[in-house]
Amino acid sequence: MGFKKNAPMSDWEHLKTVLNDLKAGDLLRTPAVLDSPVGARVVVGGREVVCLCSNDYLGLAADEAVKAAAIEAINTWGVGAGASRLVSGTLQVHQQLEQRLAAFKGAQAAVVTSTGWMANHVAICALAGAGDLILCDKLDHASILDAARQSRAAVRTYAHGDRGRLRRLLERHRADYRECLIVTDSLFSMDGDLAPLEELVELKNRFDAKLMIDEAHATGVFGQTGRGVAEHLGVDEHIDVTVGTLSKALGAMGGFVAGPEVVIDVIRNTGRAYMYTTALPPAMCAAVLAGLDIVRDQPQRRQKLLAMAAELRDRLGAGGLSTLSSASQIIPVVIGGAAEAVAVSGRLLSEGFLIPAIRPPSVPPGASRLRISLCANHDPQDLARLADVLT
Ligand SMILES: Cc1ncc(COP(=O)(O)O)c(C=O)c1O
């Protein structure tokens, strides 16, 4: 036994089994390859189709002003940042973006990370550790759940949106720990529903806990100024720490944490996914700065997006299809089995709609679905036709 140098691929039987098992369960992933930029319409296999699966909610990923800002930044700053933020990787444009994000979120300070995944990691590991308790919604994003497990804090989850269960967990366990952190997505990425932030604020106050929210899918979309669900629900001032991503409505790449200065300073000094990785490319910072201008100056983009989503949900509902508790631009249509979901997705592609099947482990077994996500640039007539085809 032992490791055989230059072992032929036929030796990787255990990994082949993994793939064969996934294939047998219709869980093997074969993503569509786009021949065009992402947008409301994309080209797949030489054919233009309506794209209903990206997180480019405001159509900024290929927006002319955003692209021009990124190109100018490449000409000014080069392509790569060259090092970690703590070495020579902090450029003026990083600082500018962090100040802008702090102001946008109404926070004392903000720190930018290379992805949204990393933002959750550094935030959670700064806020909780051994001797602390983290309480998460079961449908929180994988980056939250993984970070909570890695933080060395005790972790408990409550059923999706179940405030009663959260209250009981606090009653039973809060006193056994030093600090307690409640973490929730503000807009759930697979169900498209909103977290009950008003009640979570009340619970965190009652039990002396802190509340961190992940506004990945809501930043730029919800709230009067596009800050997110906390602004939409009027609880902005009661959120302790906000995480967001620059990769969805803001159309680029990267993540951020916004909150009290002390939290941000601890992240800058201890956050492993901040310290031990190369800084975000400058073009991404400049693209996001341009995207934030659009969020500020063009509220009509998010208004149109949410109005189209409400209309599509109504049409699907009228046709007898459930969209769970979706209240956003993310609209799930649960099919059930993975094979059925793949089949429906294939038929939709032949009708000109790109909506891949979302299957376990992204969603629970038996809850495979179409996750329809809208973009402000969609043509309402395309959405009306989608509703007809689906219903
Ligand atoms: C709720 C949530 N948080 C964080 C992330 C990670 O963000 P990023 O893709 O920028 O790494 C995602 C990505 O899908 C997400 O849905």
Q: What Cα–Cα distance (Å) separates residue 358 from each residue in 180, 189, 339? A: 33, 11, 11
pLDDT band at 137 (very low <50, low <70, confident <90, very high): very high
Give dist(CA 118, CA 112) in Å, integer. 9
Give dist(CA 62, CA 65) in Å, integer. 9
pLDDT at 29: 87
Point out the least confidently predicted range of 27-31, 258-262, 346-350. Answer: 27-31
Query: Is any atom of ligand 1 closer than 6 Å to the C-beta of 226?
Result: no
Q: Write the residue with the smallest CA distance to atom 9 of ligand 1.
A: 116
**What number is the average pLDDT over the span 93-118?**
98
Helix (H) and strand (E) counts in the chain: 14, 13
**Percent of the chain residues past pLDDT 90, beyond the cut:** 95
Asked about 325 being catalytic, the answer comes back as no
| 309 has pLDDT over 80 | yes
**What number is the average pLDDT over the span 54-62?**
98
Asked about 141 being catalytic, the answer comes back as no
Query: Is any atom of ligand 1 closer than 6 Å to the C-beta of 255?
Result: yes
pLDDT at 266: 98
Give dist(CA 285, CA 220) in Å, integer. 16
Separation of CA 242 and ligand 1 centre (Å): 13
| 331 has pLDDT over 90 | yes
- Catalytic residue selected from 94, 217, 304, 378: 217
Q: Which of 113, 245, 277, 329 to mutate to test the pocket of ligand 1 (most atoms within 8 A of CB)?
A: 245
C-alpha torsion sign, points 100, 101, 105, 106: negative
Q: What is the dihedral of CA 114, 119, 120, 126, to 10 degrees?
A: 130
pLDDT at 180: 98
**What number is the average pLDDT over the span 107-135?**
98
**What number is the average pLDDT over the span 86-111?**
97
Query: Is any atom of ligand 1 closer than 6 Å to the C-beta of 115?
Result: yes
Q: What is the pLDDT of residues 190-241, one digit of tens each?
A: 999 999 999 999 999 999 999 999 999 999 999 999 999 999 999 999 999 9
| 2 has pLDDT over 70 | no
The amino acid at 26? D
Q: What is the pLDDT of residues 251-282, one digit of tens each?
A: 999 999 999 999 999 999 999 999 999 999 99
Q: What Cα–Cα distance (Å) separates residue 222 from each residue in 140, 176, 193? A: 19, 37, 12
pLDDT at 1: 45
* Structural domains in the chain, sorted by start: 34-54+299-390 (3.90.1150.10), 64-297 (3.40.640.10)
Asked about 4 being catalytic, the answer comes back as no
pLDDT band at 4 (very low <50, low <70, confident <90, very high): low
**What number is the average pLDDT over the span 78-105?**
97
Secondary structure of residue 225 in the 3-state scheme? coil
Mean pLDDT of the chain: 96
